[in-house]
Structure 1
Amino acid sequence: MKKVIIAEKPSVAKNIADAFKIKGRKDGYFEGDKYIITWAFGHLLQLYDAKDYDENMKGWRLEKFPFIPEDFKYKIKSDSKNKSVQDKGATKQLNIIKSLIDREDVESIISATDYDREGQVISDELFIYYDVKKPIYRLLLNEWTEKEVKKGIEKLKLNSEMKSLQDAGVGRQIADWIIGINLTSVATLRYGFEDNKIINIGRVLLPTLKIIYDRDKEIENFKKTSYYKFVQNFKTKNNDEFDTLYYEENEKFESKEYLNEIKKAIKDKKGKIVNKEVEKKREYPGPLFNLSNLQGHITSKYKGWTSDKVLKVAQSLYEKKFTTYPRTGSIALEESLVDRAKNVLEKIKVGLPYEDQIKFVKSKRVFNNAKVESHSAITPTYVRPSKLTPDERIVYEAIKNRFIMQFMPVAEYEETKIIIKVDDEKAKGEFRKNGKVQLVEGWKVVEKMKSKDTILPLIEKEELLDVTDGKVNKVTKKPPKHHTEKTLLRVMETCGKSYKDDNSDKTDGEESEENTEKMMNAILSGFSIGTPATRAETIKKLQYIGYIKAKGKSLVCTDLGKTIVEIFPAKELLDLEYTGKLEKTLSDIEKGKFEKSEFLNLIFQFTKGAVEKIKKDTSLLHKFKVKLPEGAEEIGKCPICGNPVIEGNKAFGCINWKNGCKYTIWKDDKYIASFGKKVSKEMVRLLLKNGKVGFRNLKSKRGNLFSAYFRYELNKETGYLNWKMEFI
């Protein structure tokens, strides 16, 4: 009897076939003595469209939403160019997979899709669609080398043990369908006034857009401030000169004149070194790459790279067996991988100019189960690559170098801090200087990292120095920088938690251990926007749909993107905290801590509320310009959208009603009638012209007569128009 193995892609199926020396290639599968290996092409199935559940959903109308099916069903995915027909390639491969599963000599199925939320769903949706009854097992691997494939086949799990991962994947799929279908449809009907433009709304799209919008606003509202600093040079007895910075409470001063007075007062005097501290420090390399850090590293270092391109290249290296699984959030390796990592290091260090400095050590910085989220960090495998494309070489070398750096000597430097005082009553403060001298280059030799250290001359405490040139400089505080893919990915990864963007151009290795620790804690909590697998796609989609654009390496909002953020009424979707909680809940479902049904109920309730808010939103109705019907008389302009108000049989109303404008005054309005008055054309004309209309001889409930103005205003909370009265 045989087993059918289903891989996520043809390239992975070939890796599995190679591991078992299976050469028999058929149409859509490989076949050997024990195993038949076939493949998907990612998702072969998709959730039903709304119209598949109900024919009436073909045409979008506001009153048809919210639309939430009772059961969610799968169908063969649509052709990318013609959505009304099935994808021919998917249909053919599905038929092949079904025929292999149904073969009488097949006893069981092994799912070998990627070990993550999406990978689990890619195979599980096939088993649900075909109602597979044969035993199903799960192959869980982090790389596709021969050794790992064989080892994994010996340690198969029952697919039923992956129920929590399936629930998280299906929960994510349905949640995004519900939010996307409902809110995109209703938002397009309400706001898509230009060339019938689709207004895309998504659970991950909007908060990501909001991060970029907030930074743009910060820059736009930035007020330039200036201060002065005093740079003073000193000369040693050996004529070595160096500069220092003057401090009192700090190095920033409001008055230029004040600093010029000090400069003048100390001219030609002596400075005395009152303190000198020398400290040896150690500098560790940046941690192993997770996907976001790899994307940030490459996009900031190489021109023309996007995070989406980095993911595609990393995925290619993984499928070619040269690196491990790329869609990971971890920056450490599982402790069980010590022997594997040692073997990889011994293979890939051969022939390097610094080979003798590379020594395998088991450390908590590299091997730490507490810092591993689903998958270990990205590393090379023992398979040394050949025939890499230029792009593959860039990404592979980055991954390989970061791995090797972990087993190189720690970089060491000597930091010297000196404080100089000048004996003058006007110079109340002190002159400070820090200098660094690299003692051990260590891991920095791997990427030939040049040190920008200031080297101080040989000087001792109590030594006297000559005061030489001094300069008072004006410093204008710069606005924050626009987000780049690197900084955006970091905020998405941690939902802004424990992330401080200081606008510096620090290298990955210069991030503090404390910062890395905080970042990892945020990632491990699951509190993020999207997943490592989806963030690059989100950034790419925001550009494609026209919400953001690239300016060099910077990302900025377009006018459409700004408008969406400013007018979209379901503010929860723009809130990082809310989106982070949704992603955290999915992470908890994956860990068996939360039920999929409870999560989906939250999504359903949110969607219903959001649809109603969008329906009631009138902020962009003025963008729709409607022609006056032939023969109709314009009584005035609608105060909500600016289109004409005309008289009908039963009411005076705005002609923009098809697009959702609700401005209507009924002729038999009960509120006006309660005061003994009627709604007339002249009354409506005055109301539209002046914003209010006055009445005399109004009759109160007690029969008293009085005069008052009436206003007819939209309540933005309820979406209804109400009369408001003010006494004359």
Structure 2
Amino acid sequence: MKLIIAEKPSVSKNIADALKIKNRQDGYFEGNGYIVTWAFGHLLQLYDAKDYDEKMSSWKMDNFPFVPSKFQYKVKSDPRNRDKPDRGAQKQLKIIHQLMKRKDVQAIVSACDYDREGQLIGDSIIYKLKTDKQVYRLLLNEWTPAEVIKGLENIKLNTELRPLLDAGVSRQWADWVIGINLTSVATLKYQKGKGKALNIGRVLLPTLKVIYDRDQEIEKFVPENYYKLQATFQTKENHAYEGIYYEGKEEKFKSKEKLEAIQDLLKDKNGMILEKKVQKKKEFAPFLFNLSNLQGHMTSKYSGWTADKVLKVAQSLYEKKFITYPRTASIALEESLVGKTAKVLETISEDLPYKDEIKFVRTKRIFDNAKVESHSAIIPTYMKPKKLTADEGQVYQAIKNRFIMQFMPVAEHEETTIKTKIMDTDLKGIFLSKGKVQLVEGWKKVEKVQSKDTLLPFVKINDGVELIKHELTSHVTKPPKQHTEKTLLRIMETCGRNFNKDKDEEDVEAILSGFSIGTPATRAETIKKLKDIGYITAQNKNLICTELGRKLVETFPIRDLFNLEFTGRLEKSLYDIEKGNYSKNEFLQLIYSFTTNSVKKIKEHQAGTIHEVTAKRRTNEVMGKCPVCGNVIIEGQKGFGCSNWKSGCKFVIWKNDKFLATMKKKPTKTMVKTLLKNGVAPVKGLTSKKGNKFDALLRYEKNPENEYYSWKMEFTK
């Protein structure tokens, strides 16, 4: 009997289905020689500082720096009460350990995600319990039945993945040490009043600095006037075309007087075709998606999308077996996937109107081991979805379209350049005209990409043309654009090395050598956290520093933490640990030394307040009577609860209620008041799994078997 431990319940169900196991027990599936159980992501977390030393319960400057002599783990905390363990995690951990102890279990298989975080999740659970049983690793890129069976036939010894664990542990311990120490000391030093801490992190601060720098560029930008000279010519066949005046490569002129003088020279003059070039150019489909490119595509194309939302939806599609592993940095596929990719293409393109144009090809743009690190690019699996939510449908369609584009004809266009010289003058420059005609639509057909044709008349060199009009146009230079999630993700992915480049193929080497800010899995979370803690804000799609964010960048003295190169080197070190090329202990000693020196520097820093927290008086507005004990229900920070809670009344409606969240709703004051008064509340604008809006009546009723309450939904006729 083998025990398989998956990272999430949905993945364990995929494994059980692949193994045709029908028997479900409390916390696991069993049958056909396997037991399949699951975690809920991290079941264990690092000790809090106060767990190591009671004096760390209170924040005092003298307590820092603090680095534990030995890191320890405990069951993750209850999100509503950090001093207590999460009961669900505690129960599931106990079930897993009981299964590991069973005498009929000969081997354990970790089936957590194939990345350093997944390795850490599985190993922390397995090795929390001392076991002499052999531990194996299941390494998969998708959860389709065929891949699960194939993967179980090719499991590796878990000890072979030790460098991956070392990288995961190094990342976790480093972020704990930097976060705990510098957040605490910075808050004590630079914040007045009690409130949210001044959050300091090795990935947060350089990302904040990128946004700050762009804000500064825009603030300091001084607009400048420039001018262009445009002329209209007519051929002997009465076909008109336009040209812009160039001298060398310059078309924008600061001197208006210079162009006015040229205009004077153009009076009663005509032109001649000096040069004509016609070139056929190929336009290749954009590369397959990695996570950052998918996030950039979705957030720029659709409103209401964030990088964090894209990752969550992609993760859902992955766990439902419809796409491959989404947290990837690669824009190509492993060469070993050629046969499987051909079958996927055949399956998902069979219903398309242009399927006759789709031809499977093996090219380096698609299949290239040199462009793959751990996980291939994101593509659909052979399993076609029948039911998707509206959000899932949009992300799946984007991934499917990008995949199909690779096997459509290359788009082609014809580019024509005409240089027109003005006759009988000693003008230095010429007038340049550019035309473009799409010849082959190719992959653009997949997403109906419209190509704008600019037609130029048929002319030959030395043909005379009539100058029929010319005008001087004035323009103003524009400041750089605010960062969006798309542009920010690109900088984080390449550590700013291709700041002004758009092409996906640029800096592949930098991306795949681990030189970046964060990882594909954490970048979205970083952007979201910067918003949540108030360092940046979003205006439409633009990201802008808040006053608090600006003050932090300008005041906080640990400049290395704002430096892209410094953060990139740390991430590169983690990558090297993963590859077995760098020591975990060396990396951690570097982090401990950096943290200790940083704490000293902050303590000695002469600076004012960055953040002043003003206490808000809580009104404790009464919502109504408690249905359990008759006392009043008041609004708290996290929910609407009974004022009699100190005496044991547990009635509460949580603001982040999970049931309402599935329908994209949060409880409002009006809704709670109506519910307490009438026992039922009409709620509008709920969202179904398919993304459709609907209205319903909601009741909040006590469960007959315990003291907790659950929602009941009714529909009006």
TM-score (norm 1): 0.83
- Greater shift, 195-204 or 92-101, is seen at 195-204
Is the 8 Å Cα contact of residues 551 and 610 (structure 2) preserved in structure 1? no
For residues 624 and 134 of structure 1, the distance between their equivalents in structure 2, rounded to whole angstroms, comes to 55
Match status 1:437 vs 2:437: yes
Query: How far 1:134 moved relative to its partner?
Result: 1.2
Report the CA distance between 1:239 and its aligned residue. 2.3
Q: Could you tell me which residue of structure 1 aligns to residue 629 of structure 2?
A: none
- Within a 5 Å distance, the mapping from 1:155-174 to structure 2 comes to 155-174=154-173
The aligned amino acid for 1:247 is Y
Alignment partner of 1:517: what SS?
coil
- Amino acid corresponding to residue 478 of structure 2 in structure 1: K
| Separation (CA, whole Å) in 1 of partners of 2:458 and 2:114 | 58
Partner of 1:310: 310
Query: Which runs of structure 2 are paired with 1:30-41 in the superposition (5 Å)?
Result: 30-41=29-40
1:356-402 deviation per Cα after TM superposition (whole angstroms, max 9, x unaligned): 00000000000000000110000000001111111111100110111
Q: Is the 8 A contact 2:2 2:106 kept in 1?
A: yes
2:270 aligned with 1:264: no
* Structure 2 CA distance for aligned equivalents of residues 229 and 424 of structure 1: 22
Specify the SS of the correspondent of 1:234.
Answer: strand
Are the aligned partners of 2:27 and 2:37 in contact in 1 as well (CA < 8 Å)?
Answer: yes
The runs of at least 4 aligned residues of structure 1 exceeding 6 Å deviation read: 622-625
Gapped runs of 5+ residues in structure 2? 614-717
1:115-154 equivalence runs, <5 A: 115-154=114-153
CA contact (8 A) 1:265 1:424 kept: no
Cα–Cα, structure 1 residues 539 and 26, in superposed 2: closer, same or farther, change >3 Å? same
Q: Match of 1:480? A: 480
**Post-superposition CA distance 1:594-623 (Å, at most 9, x none):** 010000000000000110111112211598
Equivalent residue, structure 1, for 2:690:
none
Residue 274 of structure 1 aligns with which residue?
274
* Partner secondary structure for residue 130 of structure 1: coil
Structure 1 contact 262–426 (Cα < 8 Å) conserved: no
- The answer to which of 468-477 and 530-539 deviates more is 468-477
1:684-710 C-alpha deviation (Å, 9 max, x unpaired): xxxxxxxxxxxxxxxxxxxxxxxxxxx
Distance 1:561 1:541 in 2: 12
- 1:243 paired residue number: 242
Alignment of 1:494-573 (within 5 A): 494-501=494-501, 511=502, 515-573=503-561
Is 1:253 the equivalent of 2:253?
yes
- Equivalent residue for 1:222? 221
One-letter code of the match for 2:396?
Y
What is the DSSP-based 3-state SS (H/G/I as helix, E as strand, rest coil) of the residue aligned with 1:233? Answer: strand
Pick one of 569, 576, 585 that aligns with 1:581.
569
Residue 253 of structure 1: SS of its match in structure 2? Answer: coil
SS at structure 2 position matched to 1:313: helix
Task: Verify the 8 A CA contact 1:528 1:579 in the aligned structure 2.
Answer: yes
Instruction: Tell me if structure 1 keeps the 8 A contact 2:491–2:498.
Output: no
1:22 paired to 2:10? no
- In structure 2, what is the equivalent of residue 9 of structure 1? 8
% identity of equivalent residues: 62
Does residue 602 in structure 1 map to residue 590 in structure 2? Answer: yes
Distance 1:415 1:281 in 2: 7
- SS of the aligned residue for 1:83 comes to strand
RMSD (CA atoms): 1.4
1:268 & 1:351 partners in 2: Cα distance? 62
Of residues 345-354 and 518-527 in structure 1, the stretch that sits farther from structure 2 once superposed is: 518-527
Report deviation, 1:28: 1.0
Letter in 1 for 2:583: E
Aligned length: 613
Secondary structure in 2 matching 1:252:
coil
1:369 maps to a residue whose letter is: N
TM superposition shift of 1:240: 2.0
SS of structure 1 residue aligned to 2:543: strand
**AA of the residue aligned to 2:43:** L
The superposition leaves residues 103-159 of structure 1 with CA deviations (integer Å, 9 ceiling, x where unpaired) of 111111100000001000001111222123211000000000011000000000000
Q: State how 1:356-395 maps to structure 2 within 5 Å.
A: 356-395=356-395
Aligned to 2:678: none
> Is the contact made by 1:267 and 1:467 (CA closer than 8 Å) also made in structure 2?
no
Q: Indicate yes or no: 2:97 matched with 1:109.
A: no
Alpha-carbon distance in 2 for matches of 1:428, 1:368 = 49
- Paired amino acid for 1:373: E
Deviations 1:293-346 (A, max 9, x none): 000001000001000000001000000000000000000000000001001001
SS at match of 2:84: coil
- Structure 2 CA distance for aligned equivalents of residues 23 and 126 of structure 1: 25
Deviation, structure 1 residue 482: 0.6
Partner of 2:83, secondary structure, is coil
Equivalence map 1:164-243=2 (5 Å) = 164-243=163-242
Deviations 1:565-622 (A, max 9, x none): 1111111111100000000000000000001000000000000011011111221159
- Once residues 260 and 497 of structure 2 are traced to their aligned partners in structure 1, the CA distance between those partners, rounded to angstroms, is 44
Stretch of structure 1 that moved more, 308-317 or 449-458: 449-458
Partner of 1:425: helix, strand, or coil? Answer: coil
1:349 correspondence with 2:337: no
Q: Is the Cα contact below 8 Å between 1:215 and 1:483 reproduced in 2?
A: yes
Deviations 1:215-236 (A, max 9, x none): 1111111111121110111112
> Retained in 1: the 8 A contact 2:246–2:431?
yes
Task: Quote the residue 2:607 is aligned against.
Answer: 619
- Report if aligned partners of 2:548, 2:610 keep a CA contact under 8 Å in 1: no
Letter in 2 for 1:228: Y
Deviation at 1:423, TM superposition (A): 1.4
Structure 1 position 449 matched with structure 2 position 449: yes
Q: Are positions 1:397 and 2:397 aligned together?
A: yes
Q: CA deviation at 1:457?
A: 2.0
Which digits, 9 at most, give the CA deviation of each residue in 1:611-642, with x for residues without a partner? 011111221159889xxxxxxxxxxxxxxxxx
Alpha carbons 1:570, 1:610 under 8 Å: kept? yes
CA distance in 2, matches of 1:253, 1:166: 59
- Paired with 1:622 and 1:532, the residues of 2 have a C-alpha distance of 31
- Equivalent residues of 2:189, 2:603 under 8 A apart: yes
Instruction: Answer yes or no: is 1:420 the counterpart of 2:408.
Output: no
8 Å contact from structure 1 (residues 267, 468) kept in 2: no
Q: Contact 1:200–1:545 at 8 Å: present in 2 too?
A: yes
Compare 422-431 and 306-315 and name the one that shifted more.
Answer: 422-431
CA distance 1:124–1:222, change in 2 (3 Å):
same
CA distance in 2, matches of 1:623, 1:114: 40
- What CA distance in whole angstroms lies between the structure 1 residues aligned with 2:473 and 2:285? 35
CA distance in 1 between counterparts of 2:531 and 2:525 reads: 10
TM-superposed CA distance for 1:242, in Å, is 1.8
After superposition, the Cα gap between the structure-2 partners of 1:3 and 1:435, relative to the gap in structure 1 and judged at 3 Å, is same
Question: What secondary structure, in the 3-state scheme, does the structure 1 residue paired with 2:103 have?
Answer: coil
The residue type equivalent to 1:522 in the other structure is: A
Opposite residue 309 of structure 2, the aligned amino acid is K
Provide the C-alpha distance between the structure 2 equivalents of 1:224 and 1:453, rounded to a whole number of angstroms.
32
Compared CA separation, residues 536 and 25, structure 1 to 2 (3 A): same
Amino acid at match of 1:272: M
Q: What residue identity is the alignment partner of 2:505?
A: E
Q: Which shifted more, 148-157 or 463-472?
A: 463-472
Question: Contact between 2:19 and 2:32, CA under 8 Å: does it hold in 1?
Answer: no
Q: Distance in 1 between matches of 2:605 and 2:244?
A: 57
Q: Counterparts of 2:605 and 2:154 in 1: how far apart (Å)?
A: 56
Change (3 A) 1:413 1:193: same
Please name the residue that 1:296 is paired with: 296
Q: Which deviations, in whole Å up to 9, do the C-alpha atoms of 1:619-670 show, x marking residues without a partner?
A: 1159889xxxxxxxxxxxxxxxxxxxxxxxxxxxxxxxxxxxxxxxxxxxxx
Instruction: Give the Cα separation in 2 of the matches to 1:527 and 1:361.
Output: 32
Contact 2:552 2:610 in 1 (8 A): no
